[in-house]
Structure 1
Amino acid sequence: MSIAACASQAEESRGRLHGELGRVVRGPRDVFQRDRDRIIHSISFRRLRHKTQVFVAPDGDHYRVRLTHSIEVAQIGRGIARALGLNEDLTEALCLAHDIGHPPFGHAGEAALKAAMQAHGGFDHNGHTLRTLARIECPYPLFDGLNLTWETLEGLAKHNGPVRHPGWALADIDTEFPLDLASHASLEAQVAAVADDIAYDNHDIDDGLRAGLLCLDQLMEQPFVADNYRAVEARFPGAPRDRLLRELVRDQIGVMVNDVIAATRANVADAGVASVAEVRAAGRTLGGFSAELARKERDLKRFMYANLYHHPSQLAAADGANLVIARLFDAYRGDPALMGADWGARLPEGEQAMVRHIGDYIAGMTDRFAIDRFADIFGRDAVPEALRHA
């Protein structure tokens, strides 16, 4: 398949921070394919199977977690990249890795870690994604991190646009391996970002319906959803409602994907970009929804926050998650040996370094591991009621 002129070319990669001469190359893979494989084989990627997507430590095997979400994002992103003639392997690598920095309990866990570390630079999951991949994952003999290409690290850092004020974790990576944070990222990174939106907008509806926190009557208040559902009903009259709802989710993904492909093609043509360097210098995001669908998607997000993410049961779980993270952090700060022999033995000197080390340890936990460690320290009866199913 032909590659667009504005796509990222593996043979033109800016390379890796550390040279790898003398290493055995397994199979005829280019640098972006190797990045993807390194991400898939990493411990931090495997841990995503027990990290919150919507529901904290979900009580049921059918709900999405960070791992299944990341795979779904990669499937959507790769399809868009193929249609646009972009580099599918780089897009897939970015989609698979984009959530690796999330701590346990999703956004509730992130808020608790940010508060605990506020005096020492705070915490943000995107910066921690870079830190995990470039500092904490250490499977190789001669260097720390996965030694990913510049393009993969850049795409993860800037997939939501230029970064004017990087947090300490991202700034640390950028100092060693400058990622041109003030510019836009590649189209592959922009596609990965919108694929993330498409996946969670629609799959969270699916999970919310399955959990009984959303119902069709609520969804029909959303014009975008209502229009698509009526179209599904017209195509499949008399079909069971549960099957119609699953068809609705598939249809909405298709509508969004087709819109992104058309809008991105139009934006690329309008900007006249003919290389990935020109994409970065375009001064605006080129990959994404049309203006009309972007407005509908924002409305859908507001609906989801009001009716699912801020549902009373979700807020109760978030409160419990905040308590678990905050108390674990205080416990480890008071007695670092509680982190175990490995992490406790590697405790760095200095208050700031120690706090960040503890943050790294907690951020790497799965939901279940965090709850179990909390129970070990404070007793199983102290586990918040909303988390006791885990």
Structure 2
Amino acid sequence: MKGYQASYACDPNKSRGRQHVEPGGGTRGPRDAFQRDRDRIIHSISFRRLRHKTQVFVQPDGDHYRVRLTHSLEVAQIGRTIARALGLNEDLTEALCLAHDIGHPPFGHAGEEGLQTALKAHGGFDHNAQTLRTLMLLDSPYPRWPGLNLSWEMLEGLAKHNGPVIDPGWAMREVDGLYPLDLHGWSSLEAQVAAIADDIAYDNHDIDDGIRAGLLSIDQLIEVPFVAASWKQVRARYPDLSVDRLVPELIRDQIGLMVNDVIENTRANVAAAGIRTVEDVRAAGRMLGGFSPALAEAERHWKRFMYATLYHHPRQIAASAAAQKIVNELFLAYHANPALMSDSWVAHCDTSEPDKSRHIADFIAGMTDRYALSRHSEIYGATQLPEGFVL
């Protein structure tokens, strides 16, 4: 029994195929194209590295904080729940959710800003394009072609899950040149669901990590009307329990509320637009999957609050500055002496620009937090790190 029913769900039997024709056209086991995409992600080196890459807190001192890997798993759970309710292809949705952060460098957005600075003269750096670059060119377990050779629908969804790419950077143009992804069009509903599942996951789980780190409190959170309403209901259900016992319940309630809103609003959008096929979804000219207008506005308010109180907290700013410095100094060291990189990377390092700098950025982007810290210490010696870093 297939895991989708809607006529506008992506059908693996109607996939546009893969960039490289695979000999024999067979499968290893009874799996369709999108199931194989998901499994290729799970078994990839780049996915495994996410367990040591920053989500919010740089090298957090504690085993209970989220990292890119656990975040991606949580996004996949939410995405699959929404996809099932909407009759979409669950396997493609799950694969997109699992892969969406693979292009992030060490130290999260701080590392991305460091590489953006380093590559300023050579086209810049974008983690979404780096995800495609990694999966199409760099992570290469197969003997006859580079990359994981994922389906067109998978690659298209990763490129456009946040909407059409109107002004692609160099990395996105490069992968689009290898396998055109219709960058100026809209993506499938599976990709749109993956994008909103990402928002739901980090909106809520960053609260959990922020409270655990002592950077957020319930008193601060209930300044946000959306959170205050949920907290009031939780307290009414469990008036005799302590605050710390109720924070997980608050987060569960909010995730449920947001998931239900997405399901109801997406169904309404699909009906209003007369959507019947995947082609109708791509031709709709707008995002169909997402929050209702009221919840979208509440979520934007929530994000502004989180940036002001958590992401831009003085401790976070200090850690981010240190992370950017580490990334920048690694780039400078490798650029001055490429022989400092791993042997396989040295062997393929071009001497001309911009290829040299982009190759070095690929090497750094693939690092985990701890590997980047270790290599930096080997080159520059012991570094004084702010609170929040653990070697």
Per-residue deviation, 1:387:
5.9
Alignment CA distance shift 1:93-1:290 (3 Å): same
* Rounded Cα–Cα distance in structure 2 between residues aligned with 1:63 and 1:353: 37
Amino acid at match of 1:389: V
Contact residue 320 and residue 387 of structure 1 kept, 8 A: no
* Rounded Cα–Cα distance in structure 1 between residues aligned with 2:75 and 2:224: 24
* Rounded Cα–Cα distance in structure 2 between residues aligned with 1:226 and 1:2: 36
Per-residue deviation, 1:152:
0.2
* Rounded Cα–Cα distance in structure 2 between residues aligned with 1:247 and 1:231: 10
Q: Deviations over 1:265-321 (max 9, x none)?
A: 000000101101110010000000000000000000000000000000000000000
| Residue of structure 2 in register with 1:384 after alignment | 385
| Residue of structure 1 in register with 2:108 after alignment | 106
Amino acid at match of 2:342: G
Amino acid at match of 1:11: N
Contact residue 375 and residue 383 of structure 1 kept, 8 A: no
SS of 1:351's equivalent in the other structure is coil
Identity %: 65
| Residue of structure 2 in register with 1:260 after alignment | 262
| Residue of structure 2 in register with 1:239 after alignment | 241
Two-structure CA RMSD over aligned residues (Å) = 1.0
Per-residue deviation, 1:140:
0.2
TM-score (norm 2): 0.98
TM-score (norm 1): 0.98
| Residue of structure 2 in register with 1:133 after alignment | 135
| Residue of structure 2 in register with 1:297 after alignment | 299
| Residue of structure 2 in register with 1:324 after alignment | 326
Structure 1's consecutive aligned runs of 4 or more residues displaced over 4 angstroms after TM superposition are: none
Contact residue 320 and residue 386 of structure 1 kept, 8 A: no
Per-residue deviation, 1:385:
3.2
| Residue of structure 1 in register with 2:197 after alignment | 195
Amino acid at match of 2:188: S
Structure 2 residue runs without a partner (length 5+): none
Output aligned runs, 1:1-390, within 5 Å: 3-22=5-24, 25-380=27-382, 382-386=383-387, 388-390=389-391
Per-residue deviation, 1:386:
4.1
Structure 1 residue runs without a partner (length 5+): none
* Rounded Cα–Cα distance in structure 2 between residues aligned with 1:372 and 1:383: 13
Amino acid at match of 2:96: L
Per-residue deviation, 1:388:
4.6
Alignment CA distance shift 1:237-1:2 (3 Å): same
Per-residue deviation, 1:243:
1.7
SS of 2:163's equivalent in the other structure is coil
**Length, aligned pairs only:** 389
SS of 2:354's equivalent in the other structure is helix
Contact residue 60 and residue 388 of structure 2 kept, 8 A: no
SS of 1:4's equivalent in the other structure is coil
* Rounded Cα–Cα distance in structure 1 between residues aligned with 2:4 and 2:173: 36
SS of 2:24's equivalent in the other structure is coil
Q: Deviations over 1:244-273 (max 9, x none)?
A: 111000000000000000000000000101
Alignment CA distance shift 1:254-1:387 (3 Å): closer
* Rounded Cα–Cα distance in structure 2 between residues aligned with 1:383 and 1:370: 15
Contact residue 57 and residue 387 of structure 1 kept, 8 A: yes
